[in-house]
Amino acid sequence: MENNNQNNQNNKPKKPVRPGGLGNPGPNQPFNAYWIYAILSMGLIGMLFFGQNKTLKKVDWSDFQEYVSDNRIESIVVYSNKEIAEAKVRSESVNYVFGEDASRFSANPFVTVNIPSTQGASEFLDTVKKEKGYDIKVRFDTTSEIWGMLLTFAPFLLIIVFWIWMMRRMQGGPGGAGGGIFSVGKSKAQLFDKDAGPKATFKDVAGLSEAKEEVQEIVEFLKHPGNYTNLGGKIPKGALLVGPPGTGKTLLAKAVAGEANVPFFSISGSDFVEMFVGVGASRVRDLFRQAKEKSPCIVFIDEIDAVGRARGKNVNFGSNDERENTLNQLLTEMDGFGSNSGVIILAATNRVDILDKALLRAGRFDRQIYVELPDLNDRKEIFKVHLRPIKIDESVDVEFLARQTPGFSGADIANVCNEAALIAARNKKKFVEREDFISAVDRIVGGLEKKNKIITQDEKKSIAIHEAGHATLSWFLEHANPLVKVTIVPRGKALGAAWYLPEERQITTKDQMLDEMCALLGGRAAEEVFIGKISSGAMNDLERVTKQAYGMITYLGMSDKMPNLSYYDSSGQDYTFQKPFSENTAELIDAEVKIMVAEQYERAKDLLRKHADGHHQLSQILLEKEIIYAENLEHIFGKRPWVSRSEEILQNEDSSKNVYDNTENKADNPAKDIPDGLSFPPIPSV
């Protein structure tokens, strides 16, 4: 708790705080701890160096006089307060002075001598220098007793100080950053306090209307708990956010904390996992201890499947599994004998099928909130949020962008907006235009254009015929995905690409799936019909067709010989060890897949032969302009007789809005009669 108080005193609300002294040193830290290592190491090396290399040999005054007279001394320091002289021996005289010990003194040879008096030594040295003309450096100085003691005991003092500092650092004390060995069992959760500055709210979460309604009750309980407790209600223990990656699960959890204005603990499921036994369970206990101190609060565990995987399914040799111990401790803390009043657990995962059943029961996670991929209306709202900081012009239509991005998550849409801004900046534009968003979608879906890729004329013609085959069939098949554009410019790993608007259907019929398969086989069929030979360009198409055919027969029961049979495993096990059908059934499945694919392939060839002229015009346009749009197909084949599902939804919304406006006007003017012929839509039967 010391680091929390320090952060509050420093008034840094935007910086997340790691409770329990586990926060990393900030970028404005005045002193780096690694300098301590360097200073201590240099001090120890220096002491050892000077202590070992400057070794003194004590000699008599008569021997010293002899050495000076024979010019074997290079320099002399006379300490007047102790009547001691230290002299450095010339390198060529080391063997003479030290004899057998010369090898030990070769680096720094010194001798020391007790002088009769400072004046006598000075007179002797002056006499020798004057008579013989020797160049001997003489210096008079005084020595300190305290400095000598420090030099003697300094290595030991440094070792003691270094040991104390290391022990405090290992214990996570004030001397270290809190990440020591003895604090390995501390929680790594980041704390976002309620006074920590700007917070996320429901306004920042676009779409997800159903999910926000689910968590709104949690917010209301945290704000006004008395409204529920007076009626005997209990606070929900936890909520599990389930959905694909990038749909906004983490953002929704932060918005709940921001709306409720309570502390928010954020931690990843992998932070509980360590190689040391018992560390995960210890971190769980420490996390809930901190949460109880801050209650009411919210604890958010992201990617809980890292620690909440179902028990007993791991193949290991030991019965003491660290991950299972962590999960057991988590289960106990969430619904044990202890009281966690005011602590709500939010968790997020995209693999709810592998979680332990004890974790999902009521009393731990009382509700599961599904955060799905955004639909058309949700994507419009998400685009509005991410377009706020971007300078766009009048050509940008949010509704058009939402229709162009089916199947995109919130994170994908944010990436589209950012990529469009980068493309506009690369082209020196002042505003982000519609074409920039289209290019951004193409860049994310298909990859970067490779205009310098070397392609022969025959290869280019084959690619054009292949892509024109896809475009032709998609135009004349009722349930095929509407075409947006086709290009033969290489993108990513593909030599050509076609963009469609996938229909966001809630249910899909067999006819719709067969039309999609037929459209996918249009490229290979066009090659065989108009070129007379097939190529490897249809590999991805064949892969998708084969998977779809097997799914229709084995999962959806759409086979004439195997009706109403499904071998789909919703538990996620996927029949690892054995298949739920016999070998004869497997052979029958293979035969049915072959028949289904062959029928759609022949259907594709018949349609292409019927519309050969239009296909030829499309391929020629592709060869000339390298790209065609839906307008080109409409010019060649005429207007498509079917309306896409997205257009149908938008038309229904407009019509319902007009009906609503008319009814409001009639309510405002009750005296006027309702005109004849005004009919209200029938009430659908349930």
* String of DSSP letters for 639-660: --SS--HHHHHHHHHHHHHHHH
Higher pLDDT, 603 or 50: 603
Each residue's pLDDT tens digit, 103-117: 665 566 788 888 888
Q: How many residues does the chain have?
A: 686
pLDDT tens profile 29-58:
444 555 666 676 666 666 555 544 455 678
Alpha-carbon span 183 to 173, nearest angstrom: 9
* Confidence tier at 592 by pLDDT (50, 70, 90): very high
Confidence of residue 222 (pLDDT cuts 50, 70, 90): confident
pTM higher than the cut 0.85: no
pLDDT confidence of residue 521: 93
CA angle 53, 57, 62 (to 5 degrees): 150
Give the rounded distance of the alpha carbon of 668 from its chain centre.
Answer: 54
Amino acid identity, residue 407?
Answer: G
Distance separating alpha carbons of residues 75 and 68, to the nearest angstrom: 10
Q: Is 191 left (phi over 0), alpha (psi -120 to 50) or beta?
A: beta
Distance CA 352, CA 350 (A): 6
Whether 583 is catalytic is: no
From the candidates 86, 259, 419, 467, which is the catalytic residue?
A: 467
The mean pLDDT value for 480-506 works out to 71
Q: What is the mean pLDDT of residues 273-297?
A: 77
Overall average pLDDT of the 307-325 stretch: 65
Residue 632 CA from chain centroid, whole number: 42
pLDDT band at 404 (very low <50, low <70, confident <90, very high): confident
Give percent of the chain with pLDDT exceeding 70: 70
pLDDT of residue 593: 94
Predicted pLDDT of residue 504: 66
For residue 636, the one-letter residue type is I
CA distance 311 to 229: 35
Q: What is the pLDDT of residues 82-95, one digit of tens each?
A: 778 888 888 777 77
> Which DSSP letter does residue 348 get?
E
Report whether 160 contacts 49 (CB < 8 A): no
> Which region among 62-66, 552-556, 582-586, 660-664 has the lowest average model confidence (pLDDT)?
660-664
- φ, ψ at 141 (rounded to 5°): -150, 175
Q: Most distant CA pair in the chain: distance in Å? A: 141
Residue 671 has pLDDT above 50, yes or no: no
Give the mean model confidence (pLDDT) for residues 291-309.
83
pLDDT over 90 for what percent of the chain?
Answer: 10
**Strand 483-487 to 627-629 pairing:** antiparallel
* Predicted pLDDT of residue 25: 44
Helix (H, G, I), strand (E, B), or coil: what is residue 613? Answer: helix
- State which H helix or E strand residue 138 sits in: strand 137-141
Model confidence at 285: pLDDT above 50:
yes
